[in-house]
Amino acid sequence: MRSLMRLWEEEFHNYQPNVRFEDHLNGTVSAIGGLYGRAADLALMGREIWPTEQLAFQQTIGFPASGVKVAMGSFDVPTKADALVVFVHRDNPLSCLTLEQLDGIFGSQHLRGGRNLRKWRDLGLGGTWAAQAIHPYGYRVDNAAAIFFRNRVMKGSLLWNPTLRQFGNRTGPGGHRTDSGRQILDALAGDRYGIAISNPHYAGQQVKAVSVSEDRGKGCVPATRSNVQNGSYPLARAVYIFFVHQPDHDVAPPVAEFLRYVLSAQGQEAVAREGAYLTLPVTVAARQSKILASFPSRPLTLHR
């Protein structure tokens, strides 16, 4: 996220040249620790805060971390909070699945109230498909993408389908890295009865994306860049900035002013220029600005 942060910093300096930035972008997993360790004013995160991170912050500082959504994740750029897309083999006649059905396929506890879906007939497929077992493929369950999936689809359940085949990033000779998303779709391409969660960046002709519906009776939303950007695609991800706000105290003026800029039209235009992440829908940006405005802060005089 360094390139996006630099764009924000450079433009913010046009308004506040005396504000100094010092970046230590070591990955999302390190961000909240920087806040409660008092080493950082801002925690830039390519995902939602995890309960364990919020607990660590609260036990250390004495109150929860505060945060706002500052951009949508990418559509298909690996490592840029890319959207999760459900894929089946190209021979599969399915075109849409609900979140409840995905929970039935990939999960075992079914907090959405469904049931195990383990054969293709459970999804309405007949003929030679009916008796065939569903073969699920996905990320390692401790991966950020898998944790997002279980929170969004499985309502936080830790109980995955025990037949899930998990993939992690692989480093080969010479340090060459093979992304887990590529491995997942390579495996699916050779399995007519498989279903996978992966990144659309790696989709080839042997696999096809399935639209996703929030629930029965609601429209099937295809995984497209525009649907990820406008937030209608149910498995789109987002980018957040967390900060320290002690109750009954002001947010540090430079922090509040910077976040107001990030959520402004100018700040979101910088997201568009960066090119990988997607801008917040206007209604979402307005809602995040309202959340930010609910925190007391003293004005920071603008220097133009």
Q: What is the CATH number of domain 2-73+237-293?
A: 3.40.190.10
| Residue 205: band (very low, low, confident or very high) from pLDDT cuts 50, 70, 90 | very high
Domain boundaries along the sequence of the chain? 2-73+237-293, 85-224
Question: What gap in Å lies between CA 269 and CA 38, rounded to an integer?
Answer: 31
HEC profile of 207-227: EEEEEEECCCCCCCECCCHHH
Cβ–Cβ under 8 Å, residues 149 and 208:
no
Give pTM, 2 decimals: 0.89
| Residue 303: band (very low, low, confident or very high) from pLDDT cuts 50, 70, 90 | very low
pLDDT 10s digits, 142-172: 999 999 999 999 999 999 999 999 998 888 7
Q: Do the domains 2-73+237-293 and 85-224 sit in the same CATH topology, yes or no?
A: yes
**Cα dihedral sign, 289-294-297-298:** positive
Nearest to 150 by CA among 208, 193, 108, 185: 108
User: What single-letter DSSP state applies at residue 114?
Assistant: -
pLDDT at 81 over 60: yes
- The SS3 of residue 66 is strand
* Right CATH for 85-224 from 1.10.1740.10, 3.30.70.100, 3.40.50.9100, 3.40.190.10: 3.40.190.10
Given this model, what pLDDT does residue 169 score? Answer: 86
Cβ–Cβ under 8 Å, residues 150 and 136:
no
Q: Which residues contact 163 (CB under 8 A, 6 or more apart)?
A: 118, 133, 135, 136
pLDDT at 115 over 80: yes
Given this model, what pLDDT does residue 1 score? Answer: 87
Token pair 């917040």 in the structure block, residue: 280
Which residues are bridge partners to 71 per DSSP?
239
pLDDT at 5 over 60: yes
**Alpha-carbon distance values, 302 to 19, 143, 251, 255, 299 (Å):** 11, 42, 17, 14, 9
pLDDT at 300 over 70: no
pLDDT at 178 over 90: no
Given this model, what pLDDT does residue 65 score? Answer: 95
Question: What number is the average pLDDT over the span 1-18?
Answer: 92
pLDDT at 184 over 70: yes
Given this model, what pLDDT does residue 176 score? Answer: 75
